[in-house]
Structure 1
Amino acid sequence: CLAGTRSDALSAIVTWAVGGHQPPYAKPHLHILQPTKQMLWLCGVAGSGKSSIAMSVGRALDDLHLLGSYYGFSAANQAALNPSNLFSTISVHLVKEYPILQPVILNILATCSARKRESTNPNVQLETFLVPLLNALSSQALPIHTVIIIDALDE
């Protein structure tokens, strides 16, 4: 977002991400669906600024060391438009951000069948890569709080 724009949306989302109370946000053509502790969904019509907000929130959370992964579907980038890359890419980002997860991903790669490892099915990728990593994160003695941003699902 340009400096000084969308500050109410940015503030609401960053406040939610750091674990604080998330103030309601609703503007014509852009609003936050009922957020839960684990998920926030920003929705709006095409051109309402969702991607700009997502990128700005991603930068803010990265500065706060809370961004685990940012994945943006993009019509300009065929690889980023392919949903089969979603969860494997997020998993790679999480391992880079949290090196403590490296043994988990190495174990997945060593013990998983090639069919599962190479699957382009997002459901298989979710169960194979992301769920074990998130379970490992949640079981760490250190309280690790991380946010995963998925942008432009409608691309």
Structure 2
Amino acid sequence: MSQPETPTLYEWAGGTEAFVRLCDAFYERVRADEVLAPMFAGMDAEHARYVALWLAEVFGGPAVYTTEHGGYPHMLSKHIGLAITEPQRRRWVNLIMDAADAAGLPDDPEFRAAFAGYIEWGTRLAVSNSQPGADPVRQAPVPRWGWGVAPPYAG
């Protein structure tokens, strides 16, 4: 008898709809937050949807962000020169974790550990890549995040 295949984090979360709920809940919090609201004041009306598609792809869903929005190079271009601070990063992390609760993402320890792992990794990379004078890798695929496995870092 064969073992059932382990679902992706995307499947476990509930698919694209779950990430849309997450990002809607998240950006509602961002718009009301004194630390982050100024950073996102001019965001595109579809920004939450774009981030939802990014996260869906990262966690094992279809490559919609890559095919429709330019993948990693496009996402990176939105962060270059922003000079994101550690307090801004930390607030972003806190708000998205609160939004995960509000959106009803799975709260089992395995999923939340993998989710939190990507959020920490991705936001720290965003801070680094956004600093003046940073020279990040500009051509890379969208990272694919799995159950407790971080992609290798080539610093």
TM class, shorter-length = under 0.3
Normalized against structure 2, the TM-score is what? 0.26
Larger Cα-atom Rg: 1
TM-score of the superposition, structure 1-length normalised? 0.26
Higher RCO by CA contacts (8 Å cutoff, separation 6 or greater): 2
More strand per residue: 1 or 2?
1
